């Protein structure tokens, strides 16, 4: 049980002015795991003021000095890695092995990558008769989600720090366990006061105050499209830079010569292991009509053999959803699919057998899905898969692109020329071919309503830099 009663601002742990207390709940059984005292608008003002004061000095640090800072963060991150893994499992129900072997390592990778970017990025260069300088944008407001807390908090923070920005981080209030451990890591690393600040709180209070604050120079937001719209409106009067990474309804396009075992492995990794709570989940699978029954047989066997259980059990392959509210949302979408006439192949309403409590759901597959159905168009954030049959590859590409989103896409096929042709035609920010290893240092972001800008890697650092051109008289 951990009671988080303080926030972290200006290099110190302080009592928030607002004082609203939010109970934290274990998604596996509904038990109380602790609480977090939420920040309010006055706390945002205090945190931004601290970051603003610290910015001028921090912006003048050299890449070598910022590398030293990131190295200290890495040392403390490694020391607290086990605590971070426990936090992720406790707050969102991720299986313990997934928290330990995926969530935490992807966060660590963001730190080592930021160090590499600092070593290879020219912050000043000559171009023609001008001098091009890349300078930090200012105070960075970072708003992160609950579903990949370590990756998002660490990735955004170290990219901003590498660029020379100071940071005010607003994590999802339900991800308070991992956020507080992260703040403890930053404190132990010995950052100058005001360079990093943590203000947990509700989006409509803390988030709105942050993005509208005149002393914030750049916003990085990951979350829903509806919230991103409000972020953009709140940020508009000060014309600050806003980067967003939003939802997805990602297609998995199986070409006529696809190896279905590869396709099922992709679904296992990027859909089922995360209980569908991942914005790039391949939730729409497009299958050649003549091979539909073959694919469904392979998929159903894999889904029905999946071990759903308590996240602390080493044998568990899929844990619970993060909250009761999300459980209710998934139930609503299953009912929507049934009402629309989609064929329920496996899964369905309610909890799996033997799991009467907690936010556990049945991994669900619908066939005979039309792309106009709600389950094929809206992001469910649960293990609900829509299988759509197609007759020609051209039709499949059209269906894949027929979505307001464009975050990710997946292609499975044996003919490299056909694969390359399809990849070129897909409107998505990332395309995974034949279950290739995923590069967590590559630029991440989407097309259309999946957001704008990119984070992680080189592009993630560049997102926090402004360009200045210096013209000097010729000697």
Determine contact, residues 306/362, Cβ cutoff 8 Å: no
Q: Of these residues, 173, 245, 379, 455, which one is catalytic?
A: 245
Which are the contacts of 11, defined by CB distance < 8 A and separation ≥ 6? 50, 187, 191, 192, 193, 194, 195
Dihedral angle sign, alpha carbons of residues 87, 90, 96, 102: negative
- Burial of 32 per CB tally in 10 Å (0-12, 13-18, 19+): exposed
Active site residue 165: no
Beta strands 408-412; 251-254: pairing state: parallel
The candidate with the shortest Cα–Cα distance to 109, out of 78, 140, 83, is 78
CA distance 367 to 98: 29
CA distance 310 to 85: 15
Q: Of these residues, 165, 279, 379, 455, which one is catalytic?
A: 279
Query: 448-466 burial by CB neighbour count: b if 16+ within 10 A, else e?
Result: bbbbbbbbbbbbbbbbbbe
CA distance 398 to 203: 36
Cα angle vertex 195, ends 193, 196, to 5°? 100
Active site residue 378: no
Which are the contacts of 104, defined by CB distance < 8 A and separation ≥ 6? 81, 84, 85, 88, 150
**Distances in Å between the alpha carbon of 140 and those of 9, 168, 174, 189, 471?**
14, 6, 22, 19, 28
**End-to-end CA, the chain:** 68
SS3 (DSSP) at 412? strand
- Burial of 314 per CB tally in 10 Å (0-12, 13-18, 19+): exposed
The full DSSP string for 39-96 is: P-HHHHHHHHHHHHHHHHHHHTS-HHHHHHHHHHHHHHHHHTHHHHHHHHHHHH---H
Just list the catalytic residues.
245, 279
């Amino acid at each position: 049980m951990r009671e988080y009663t303080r926030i972290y601002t200006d290099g110190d742990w302080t009592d928030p002015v607002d004082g609203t207390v939010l109970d934290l709940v274990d998604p596996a059984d509904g038990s109380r795991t602790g609480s977090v005292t939420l920040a309010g608008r006055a706390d945002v003002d205090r945190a931004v003021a601290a970051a603003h004061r610290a910015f001028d000095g921090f912006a003048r640090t050299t890449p070598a000095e910022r590398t030293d800072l990131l190295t200290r963060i890495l040392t403390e991150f490694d020391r607290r890695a086990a605590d971070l893994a426990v936090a992720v499992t406790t707050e969102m129900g991720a299986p313990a092995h997934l928290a330990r072997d995926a969530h935490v390592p992807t966060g660590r990778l963001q730190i080592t990558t930021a160090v590499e970017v600092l070593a290879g990025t020219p912050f000043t260069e000559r171009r023609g008769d001008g001098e091009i300088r890349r300078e930090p944008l200012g105070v960075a407001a970072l708003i992160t989600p609950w579903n990949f807390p370590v990756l998002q908090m660490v990735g955004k923070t170290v990219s901003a720090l590498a660029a020379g920005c100071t940071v005010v981080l607003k994590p999802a209030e339900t991800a308070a366990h991992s956020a507080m451990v992260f703040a403890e890591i930053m404190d132990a690393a010995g950052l100058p006061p005001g360079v990093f600040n943590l203000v947990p709180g509700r989006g409509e209070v803390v988030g709105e105050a942050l993005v509208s604050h005149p002393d914030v120079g750049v916003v990085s937001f990951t979350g829903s499209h509806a919230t991103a719209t409000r972020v953009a409106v709140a940020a508009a009067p000060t014309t600050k830079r806003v980067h967003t990474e939003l939802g997805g309804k990602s297609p998995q396009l199986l070409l006529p010569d696809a190896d279905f075992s590869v396709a099922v492995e992709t679904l296992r990794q990027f859909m089922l292991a995360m209980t569908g709570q991942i914005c790039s989940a391949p939730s729409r699978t497009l299958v050649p009509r003549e091979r539909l029954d073959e694919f469904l047989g392979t998929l159903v066997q894999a889904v029905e053999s999946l071990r759903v259980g308590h996240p602390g059990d080493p044998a568990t392959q899929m844990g619970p959803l993060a909250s009761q509210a999300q459980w209710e949302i998934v139930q609503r979408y299953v009912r929507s699919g049934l009402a629309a006439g989609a064929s329920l192949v496996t899964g369905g309403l309610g909890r799996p057998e033997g799991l009467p409590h907690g936010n556990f759901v049945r991994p669900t597959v619908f066939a005979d899905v039309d792309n106009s159905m709600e389950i094929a168009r809206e992001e469910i954030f649960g293990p609900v898969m829509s299988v759509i049959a197609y007759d020609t590859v051209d039709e499949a590409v059209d269906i894949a692109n027929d979505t307001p989103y464009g975050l990710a896409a997946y292609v499975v096929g044996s003919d490299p020329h056909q694969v390359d042709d399809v990849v070129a035609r897909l409107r998505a920010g990332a395309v995974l071919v034949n279950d290739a290893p995923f590069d967590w240092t590559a630029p991440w972001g989407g097309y259309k309503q999946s957001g704008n800008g990119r984070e992680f890697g080189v592009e993630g650092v560049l997102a926090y830099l402004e360009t200045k051109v210096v013209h000097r008289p010729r000697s």
